[in-house]
Amino acid sequence: MDHALLLKIEFDNGRALTDEKISTLLSSSEVIKSLTSTFSKKSLYPIWRLLALSEIPYVERLKYTQDLVEYIEDTYATSDGFSITGKGEDLLPCYNAMLIEVYSKLGYADRPVVTHAVEWIKKYQIFERNEKTVWTGKGIQKYGGCMKSIPCYIGLAKTVKALIYYSKTVHDDQVIEIISKGTEYLLQHNLYQRLSNSAPITKHILDIAFPQSYQLNIIELLDIAYMTEHMNHPSVKSAVDFIKERKTKYNDWRINYIYKADGFISFDKRGQKGEWITYLLEKYLNQIN
């Protein structure tokens, strides 16, 4: 087992580790070595690296992570939130949400840029059909229409997930209300199905992959169900059944998709036991009565 995963398991179980033990596990993880061995400003490379690192507890202690956070803030932060170009008008709900989640996991939920990003959600993100946003930024039209009469499911789901992590350290009644409203929308869709014909909402929504990418997948959706304690909800059963059917004869799960982008690294390898996704899925399923 990679030592980054061991760190996550210990952290999730609330076990206290000495600084020396944490340092040893961080420095001996092959996953962390892969994530911190190189850096590039090309495309969205920095975002994918920080997204991956944020899945590992205590990585905020690494200089690589600290430098990356500084670069992300200098490059993508605006007075409205996070934008892939550094211009407020190009803000996209999905990337804004993913970086809120990253900062929250790293312990930076109280930074001004995160506050701005959350305020943007409060003012402009829509969570129902036929709602209209008053946001006039060009990005939401340029990149596919994030908030038309039917809100982009990817952006909505990632926003809900981001706010759940944000709310672990920052108490905000309006955020709690948004999480509840957004979760209800996801449950109406059984997490992954179109209302019209029950087909998967997107091409990649049933992918088994980790860490997250732009492509919303079932691991993320079950994470939401788990964190909101909805794993026993009838609307989650279809997703749970799907996951159970994908368990191998070796009593584990394996990834079936790797996102292709500069800077993105999958934690598990194709054709091998997916230690990360197996741990996560077993954790989620254990919430079921």
Residue 82 falls within a domain, yes or no? no
- Residue 147: per-residue pLDDT: 63
- Residue 131: per-residue pLDDT: 78
pLDDT tens readout for residues 233-244: 999 999 999 999
Counting the structural domains of the chain, the total is: 1
Tell me the CA distances in angstroms from 43 to 66, 98, 157, 160, 279, one per residue in order.
20, 16, 24, 26, 31
Residue 151 falls within a domain, yes or no? no
Both structure tokens of 205? 């929504």
- Tell me the whole-structure pTM to 2 decimals: 0.95
Read off the pLDDT of each residue in 6-28 and give the average, rounded to a whole number: 97
DSSP 77: B
Instruction: Kindly give, in sequence order, each residue whose CB lies less than 8 Å from that of residue 178, ignoring residues fewer than 6 positions away.
Output: 121, 122, 125, 127, 159, 160, 163
What is the domain range of residue 211?
A: 189-289
Residue 251 falls within a domain, yes or no? yes
pLDDT tens readout for residues 169-220: 999 999 999 999 999 999 999 999 999 999 999 999 999 999 999 999 999 9
Residue 245 falls within a domain, yes or no? yes
